[in-house]
Amino acid sequence: MSDQDRDNPRREFLRKTLTLIPVVTVASSALGSSVLQAASQALPAAADKAPVNSGHYEPSFFTAEEWAFLNAAVARLIPADAQGPGALEAGVPEFIDRQMNTPYASGALWFMQGPFAADAPAEMGWQSKLVPREIYRLGIAATEAWCKKLHGSTFSGQDSATQDALLKRLEAGDADFDTVPPKIFFSFLLQNTKEGFFCDPVHGGNKGLVGWTMIGFPGARADFMDWVERNEQYPFPAVSIRGERA
């Protein structure tokens, strides 16, 4: 690893979070703070205007207003910078929208009967009557109302510094939402953003295999064990499940 890589907080954060935590683990962690700090350091001016997804994907779950929030939020969690594309360019909003139409998003894979105990240990499983689809819908609505109250405009209408500050407050639970705990909403947003950046492109994210290229992951190649112990950079591009090459 070069000295330049060591000094780049965004790249180091992404390396360390390649092994993704299950999304049902929604306890707050320092990961969100580190990526937000990296975002504000890496892209001081480029995100002052609300980013727009450059692709032609039309969301099937999110409304236009929700889509604007999602694009703006993920662009701050993993921003584009000199090291490479960010979450927006990797298609993370498309990944999240497509996930909202799966059994995961409707809670079909979870035990969803009460009673629910907010203070239960993590090994007791999901402790909320809300499922991911509801958490996103309620969380975005609450965040947008909160932003309008504080700043007179939606989240996507804020400059990058204000967006970062608002996301940090969501992570800390420093927002008074009646419908959904802000920490849970932020945890889903951050976790799904990381998943969309590192997933196989077949799921809608990691377009151009930019996430895998950034960390040197070879992808779905049949065999790369000959290179594991060489202590040198793997020379071949990443390959997706469908055979797409970086």
1 found inside a domain: no
Residue 230 pLDDT greater than 90, yes or no:
no
Q: Count CB neighbours of 103 within 10 A.
A: 9
DSSP annotation of 221 reads -
226 found inside a domain: no
24 found inside a domain: no
Rounded CA separation 74/193 (Å): 6
170 found inside a domain: yes
The reported pTM is 0.75
Per-residue pLDDT tens over the stretch 35-60: 444 444 443 333 333 344 445 899 99
238 found inside a domain: no
Residue 85 pLDDT greater than 50, yes or no:
yes
Tell me which residue range forms the domain holding 168: 10-18+29-40+57-115+124-215
Give mean pLDDT, residues 110-120: 77
Q: Phi first, then psi: give them for residue 64, nearest 5 degrees.
A: -60, -40
The pLDDT confidence band at residue 19, using thresholds 50, 70 and 90, is very low
Q: Count CB neighbours of 61 within 10 A.
A: 16
Rounded CA separation 169/198 (Å): 26
Residue 220 pLDDT greater than 50, yes or no:
yes
pLDDT of residue 60: 96
91 found inside a domain: yes
Number of domains in the chain: 1
Strand partners, 111: none
